[in-house]
Amino acid sequence: MQSLPSFLQAHNTPSDIAAILNGLMTSCVDISNKLQQGALAGILGCAGEENIQGETQKKLDVISNDIIKDQLASMSMVKGMASEEEDFPVACNENGEYLVLFDPLDGSSNIDVNVTVGTIFSILKTTKDVDASKPEAYLQAGTEQVSAGYVLYGPSTILMLTTGQGVHSFAMDPATGEFLLMRENVQIPAQTQEFAINMSNQRFWLPEMQNYVADLLQGEEGPLGKRYNMRWVAAMVAEVHRILTRGGIFMYPYDNRDPSKPGKLRLMYEGNPMSMLIEQAGGKASTAHAPIMEVTPTDIHQRVSVVMGSIDEVDVALSYHKK
C-alpha cells in the first residue's frame, strides 16, 4: 500500500505543502493515541475554560490544540496559524509562505461518551510581506485554499485529503503510525435518501428550510417521492465522512436564535475546508443562497450556514430557498 509521503511525491505535490501535511499527520497520530487511551491518559472532562466561540473547552481540545501548534511552529514553511480554539492567530516563521487554519478537535462534546471526533485543516498561500499575527492575513475565500482535509478518529483513524486534484482516503496503521492509501478519487453519489440535521432546532429555522425538511419527512407519500433516513452524530467531520463514503446531505442552517450569527459552523475552520472536499468529490456546498467557498470572509471566526453533500439533493434543498 502507498504511504502518504510517497503518494504526495508521486502526485507532484509541492514539497512545502507535502511537509505541512506530513507534519499535521504526525500531530494527528499523537491525538489519535491519546483518544485511544481515553481516561487512562487523563484527557476526559472539561478544561474549565471557554474558547472564543463561548464554548466550554474539553481537556483534549486544549491538548490537541497545543500538539498541532507545536508541530506547525517548528516548520519553516509555515508563516502563521489560526485555531478555532484561540482568539487570535499566531505568527510562526517570518520566511514561511503558507498559513494553516485548523479545528483541532471537531465534535469534542462527543469525547466523554466515546463517539466520533476529528481534526479539520485548511492551507492557504501567502506572501512574505504579510503579518501572520493579524487576522486579516487569513481572510481569503475558500476558493484560494491549496489543500484541505480532516482526520476522523473512529474505530479506525482515517484521513480524507485534497490538494485540488480530487479527494483521497488514507487509513492510519496503528502499528506504525503511517497513513496508507485506501481510495483514490472519491466520488459522492449524485442522489441520496439520507439527510443529517439537528431536528431540535427546527422551530428556529427559516420557513424555506422548515418546508424542505417537512417534505423529507413525508417520504414517498410527499412531493419528493422517496423515503429518507435521518442521521445525526453531532460532529461535522463524521457527517461529512458519511457523505464522502456513501452520499447524503448535511445541513446546519441559519436559525433565528441569534440574528447576528448567520450560522453555527465556522467558515474558515469548518465551512471552507469541508466545502473543498465535498466539491472535489463531485458534491455541492452552499449557504443555501451562495457557494460557501465564494463567501468573502470578514472575520477569522465568522460563522456560516451550511447545506452540503450529494449534488442533486443539495439542488433540491436550494430550490426551496429560490421559491
Q: Give Cα separations from 194 to 160, 228, 288 (angstroms).
A: 21, 5, 18
Orientation angle between helical segments 311-322 and 207-217, nearest 10 degrees: 130
Look up cell 472536499; give the residue. 277
| 270 assigned binding-site residue | yes
| 149 assigned binding-site residue | no
Asked if residues 125 and 255 have their Cβ atoms less than 8 Å apart, the reply is no
Asked if residues 143 and 291 have their Cβ atoms less than 8 Å apart, the reply is no
| 201 assigned binding-site residue | no
From the CB of residue 257, how many other CB atoms can be counted at a distance below 10 Å? 10
| 198 assigned binding-site residue | yes
d(CA 167, CA 183): 9
Q: Report the half-sphere exposure of 260 (CA within 13 A, side-chain side).
A: 0
Query: Which secondary-structure segment (H or E) carries 319?
Result: helix 311-322
| 263 assigned binding-site residue | no
| 310 assigned binding-site residue | no
Look up cell 447524503; give the residue. 248
| 87 assigned binding-site residue | no
| 105 assigned binding-site residue | yes
SS3 label, residue 61: helix
| 107 assigned binding-site residue | yes
For the chain, helix, strand, coil in percent to 5 are: 40, 25, 35
Tell me phi and psi for residue 191, to 5 degrees.
-115, 155
Binding-site positions? 84, 103, 105-109, 198, 264, 270
Binding-site positions for substrate? 106-109, 198, 264
Binding-site positions for Mg(2+)? 84, 103, 105-106, 270
